[in-house]
Structure 1
Amino acid sequence: MSYVAGHRHTTVQDHVALVEIDLTGELMIAAAASSEDRLSPDRIDEVLDVDGDGREPPGEPA
């Protein structure tokens, strides 16, 4: 008789990984909709909703 592993139900979620997957999906959608070969750094910042200047906002820890 051979052993077949059953499907495990898990409730553990890696929230950071889920956010990263979502952001990657947003970048893929933007890239697919773009007529250019590559997304510009400004467009990537826009899609990811970041400032893009590499500095932390005032009052935020670095």
Structure 2
Amino acid sequence: MGMKFTLSKPYRGFDAETEFEQIAKYGSWHLAAAKLEAVDGSDQRIEVTTDELKQHFAA
């Protein structure tokens, strides 16, 4: 199981408080830092940078 992240405000079409699980982590070679999947069963995924994680999500 990956880390869990919760949106602190609406972002990219997701409501505030949407919970995500990290399903992939990337190294410095990739523009995104992690791939996140919503845990509500919708199978929606987003890729985010380290800055986006710090700005929009709470671990």
TM-score normalised to structure 2 length: 0.21
Higher strand fraction: Structure 1 or Structure 2?
2
Higher helix fraction: Structure 1 or Structure 2?
1
Larger Rg: 1
Instruction: Compare relative contact order (CA 8 Å, sep 6+) and give the higher one, 1 or 2.
Output: 2
TM-score normalised to structure 1 length: 0.21
